[in-house]
Chains A and B, each alone.
Chain A
Amino acid sequence: MEKIFSRPKSLRNISTHYCPGCGHGIAHRLIAGVVDELGIRDKVIAIAPVGCAVLAYDYWDFDCTEAAHGRALAVATAIKRVRPQNIVFTYQGDGDLAAIGTNETIHAANRGENLTVIFINNAVYGMTGGQMAPTTLLGQKTATSPLGRNAQREGYPLKISEVLSQLSGVKYIERTSFYSPQEILKAKRAIKLAFQNQIEGIGFSLVEILSPCPTYWDMSPQKAMEWIANIMIKEFPLGRIK
């Protein structure tokens, strides 16, 4: 028998700190797999976010830096400008990319920086204990929207990918999800395309992933996947946005 599926080389063989059923583990693996398949491990530089994935550099086996909360795309911009021969990507959550870092996100995108962005949308702040995120759905209960998000009080879920798609500097945006193995494979294809775009010099590419947070959605891992499939994609439709 031949081994047909195993851990990507670029993913260190250690246990993560993520909760059971958390989507970050899947996203880390897909990125590591794409890095291996494209043969870019010795060229890649990752920018880890502040949020649950703050320790991503402990899991990927390539060059990584931290960035202050929301500033990943400012850091990435400079790294890529200084070292255009390297492949630079940011890995950011919804709070990082679409709340505290909205300014950095919009302007890096608008400058058309030749970067790859992996955007994990789980509609909640995980690291700090399940507070309302910019992408929290209407009616969704969180630590800071205990009655459920109300548009009059807390505004609407922010569709940052659609906002970014309006900018001339942006070349590729796709929204994917993790709710089934098929969707995970689609997400991987999108991630690969976003990296290939950078290699070919096409420009700013972003993959949004609807990713489960069973802990702060107060659901079993399987129910969380079903919630993405049945509820979340109604607010955040899947597919290529640009």
Chain B
Amino acid sequence: MAKIIIERDKCKGCLLCVSVCPKGLIIVDKDLNQKGVNPVKFSPLVSRIPSKARQVNDECLGCSLCAIMCPDCCIEVYK
């Protein structure tokens, strides 16, 4: 069990975290944040990878790759 918390209003929407999440658990939020950009959000329930049905190993690993990549230090990781 692991999770990430994204500081929504600090996110600049660069999507680098999306590109590195091995489970595809970070998606673009349709609602704008205070900066006026579409931030990312943690979406542990629905996998973005369409070919994969929801499985146990779709859960967040707590690998922290997203947080390491984030240029704006918006992501905290819990495990």
B20 and A181 within 8 A (CB): yes
Q: Compute how far the CA of A109 lies from the CA of B37 in the bound complex, rounded to whole angstroms.
A: 43
Q: Which residues from B are CB-within-8-Å of A15?
A: 10, 35, 72
Chain A residue nearest to B67 (CB atoms) is: A5
A222 and B78 within 8 A (CB): no
Interface-facing stretch out of A23-31, A191-199, A201-209, A232-240: A23-31
How many Cβ-Cβ contacts under 8 Å join chain A to chain B? 74
Nearest-Cβ distance from residue B26 to partner chain A, whole angstroms: 13
In the complex, chain B residues 37-52 whose Cβ is within 8 Å of any chain A Cβ:
37
Nearest-Cβ distance from residue B74 to partner chain A, whole angstroms: 9
Out of B15, B35, B76, which one reaches A221, CB within 8 Å? B15
The binding surface of chain A is classed by DSSP as mixed
Q: Which residues from B are CB-within-8-Å of A26?
A: 69-71
A6 and B76 within 8 A (CB): yes
In the complex, chain B residues 5-52 whose Cβ is within 8 Å of any chain A Cβ:
10, 12-16, 19-20, 35, 37
Q: Which residues from A are CB-within-8-Å of B1?
A: 1
A75 on interface, CB distance cutoff 8 Å: no
B71 and A1 within 8 A (CB): no
- A1-B3, A2-B79, A25-B73 are known contacts. Are A221 and B14 too (CB-CB below 8 A)? yes
Of the listed residues A3, A180, A181, A225, the one surrounded by the most CB atoms of chain B closer than 10 A to its CB is A181
In the complex, chain B residues 54-79 whose Cβ is within 8 Å of any chain A Cβ:
62, 64-65, 67-73, 75-79
Chain B: number of interface residues, binned into ranges = 20 to 34
Name 21 interchain pairs, CB-CB below 8 A, sorted by A.
A1-B2, A2-B79, A5-B67, A5-B75, A5-B76, A5-B77, A18-B71, A19-B12, A20-B13, A20-B37, A26-B69, A26-B71, A180-B20, A180-B69, A214-B14, A220-B15, A221-B14, A221-B15, A222-B15, A222-B16, A225-B19
Q: Top 5 closest A-B pairs, CB basis?
A: A25-B71, A21-B14, A5-B77, A20-B12, A20-B14
Interface residues, chain B, CB within 8 Å of chain A? 1-3, 10, 12-16, 19-20, 35, 37, 62, 64-65, 67-73, 75-79
